Structure 1
């Protein structure tokens, strides 16, 4: 009985964050929808500026839970600039928290509202969020032969033409690295060997299509590429074997004490433009990631494990950057739910917003 109670209380650690983040989604969608209508006759840059600001407010609230609430320690390595830039963000992919890591870096540069993702096509069906991510500049892509290069290029060129600030997040592996999915890892390693590429241990063989199209479409607009390598401390078992990275649920239950983030800023002039050359370059960047992760997980020297080589900086996010957003979003949502009319509007937003969003993305697909 006591053990059941403890386990129940433990699971509740993620209930409050999830309730607030998901519960405020209709409030956010209504605010965004109102601005979308009001700005219909204004130049696109005015809509974009306010949309970015609204997105910054919502994501700051998200970061309150993922940083301040969990108390996770963030260790930064490498050369993350303090000022905002137009960039492509390339990172290894292990879990759903990887999306939050991009926010963690962006808020430290004052670029949180500019974060946009290249997303797996199936995510467009998410209630409310699926449609909105597309409206905020996200790009949904399918894998292999279904990948629509022309459509992705068209969207990126339209963002460049509009002067849209870009913090474009791409996970070139195309799927998550999970040590328990041995077939996915072996297939990736077999493909690399067949192509004459070095076989990687802690990351999957990267795919070049999305990265090449993004860079080729925006090369005159970008400042740099950020090559980001992420490791979650506490993801090794008693035998020294790597475990699956924490899910959002587990992370909010405070299962991850530290995140180590290595950033290499690469000037755009140092990135090859031709696809075959970029493919080699991208694989070389993932070889560097692999060596960093081998050092992190497998170093024979215990003092060198659970950290990347080089100096690190412990970076703590101030409550001033997250708490106001939490109070605003929670207050607006609570105010809506306090009245009968507000509750009806809230429920209808969830229902009709989801249906209309799914209809929109199905038409645009």
Structure 2
């Protein structure tokens, strides 16, 4: 494997590590009374993280008809991942549509993909500025990621060509899109107000807990891939810790905060939409997409502000507990460790590693600008 490949595998390493620890921490419903404590290893991130220890509470979700609710624990974060809806067990060709709040949203997409054995097929539609990420900007592009610019600078031809390349390759499709185009951040009310003004201008309902979605990337993706798609996965994510004592919404956790257990629960609402239900014409697709985000806005409004306290801080729906097989992640985790650790264990290996980052980044920047 090329040296750059060793670095690129670390993104998957993170996801596999999350999933692996989730599995080894799993306790069956019959043993849901067990409690364990674990000390944080991330004291270097901040004094607050170093002081805190996390109690991992192993709980079970009752089994009922009508959906799936997954309560699972992540050793490294102490977070409970709760999924509402019926996630298909078989791999499908899909577009993953989600609200966007923070960088952890990328990990959420991988968390769902790995449950369908589709982790290696995940591709992202990314804002153009991310192509300047050292090495990873080039990696995402070569891995099928699509960089897009906002508004008038958006290139429909470039995105269409990239998607057609994926069709010709015959690779399975798992394309992640955040149609809002930017993160929802309550600390920037002017951005939210501008989004609401856009909705008014277009004659669409204003949204309070999500941004008004933009249809261009979604329209091109669905219409180009329609012949291959099975469905659209409509995902709504809530980070439960991002709520003030008065019930007001706070900024979603950053990646360091997430790793230091600042998020007690992640709620994921899953809805599968048959691609045949999605209109092809731009004007009708814009309306359809906005309606999907109206549903998200209603879900989030009820989550944060429901009059009935019993309905607050959870999504509607009931379900059963889900568990990953350890063999889905352990072999890959060991393989990646065997590739990376020996290189970092020697001085020569570390020098090669750092030079790969430096020169690989410069070459990557040049590459993505010549051949995005």
Q: Is TM > 0.5 for Structure 1 vs Structure 2?
A: yes
Question: How many angstroms apart in 1 are the aligned matches of 2:19 and 2:365?
Answer: 27
Question: How many angstroms apart in 1 are the aligned matches of 2:112 and 2:268?
Answer: 9
Q: Give 1:89 shift.
A: 0.6
Decide which of 278, 282, 296 is 1:289's aligned counterpart.
296
Question: How many angstroms apart in 1 are the aligned matches of 2:184 and 2:20?
Answer: 27
| Structure 1 residues 138 and 221: alpha-carbon distance in aligned structure 2, compared to 1, 3 A threshold | same
Matched, 1:183 2:217: no
Q: Give 1:341 shift.
A: 3.1
Decide which of 116, 124, 128 is 2:135's aligned counterpart.
128
Matched, 1:84 2:84: no
Q: Give 1:329 shift.
A: 2.5
RMSD between aligned residues: 2.3
> Can you give the 5+ residue segments of structure 1 that lack an aligned partner in the other structure?
1-25, 33-50
More helix by share: 1
Paired positions, count: 321
Residue matched to 1:342 = 349
Trace 1:16-55 onto structure 2 (pairs within 5 A).
Answer: 29-30=5-6
CA deviations on 1:92-132 (whole Å, 9 max, x unpaired) are 00111000000011011111111000001000111111100
| Structure 1 residues 103 and 199: alpha-carbon distance in aligned structure 2, compared to 1, 3 A threshold | same
Matched, 1:364 2:371: yes
Question: How many angstroms apart in 2 are the aligned matches of 1:234 and 1:111?
Answer: 29
Question: How many angstroms apart in 2 are the aligned matches of 1:157 and 1:145?
Answer: 22
> Can you give the 5+ residue segments of structure 2 that lack an aligned partner in the other structure?
23-73
Matched, 1:225 2:232: yes
Whether the aligned pair in 2 keeps the contact of 1:86 and 1:166 (CA below 8 Å) is yes
Q: Give 1:78 shift.
A: 1.6
| Structure 1 residues 174 and 213: alpha-carbon distance in aligned structure 2, compared to 1, 3 A threshold | same
CA deviations on 1:252-289 (whole Å, 9 max, x unpaired) are 00111111111111111100011110000000000001
Question: How many angstroms apart in 1 are the aligned matches of 2:117 and 2:331?
Answer: 16
Normalised to the residue count of structure 1, the TM-score between the two structures is 0.82
Matched, 1:60 2:2: no
Trace 1:1-365 onto structure 2 (pairs within 5 A).
Answer: 29-30=5-6, 59-61=15-17, 63-64=19-20, 67-317=74-324, 319-365=326-372
| Structure 1 residues 91 and 76: alpha-carbon distance in aligned structure 2, compared to 1, 3 A threshold | same
Normalised to the residue count of structure 2, the TM-score between the two structures is 0.81
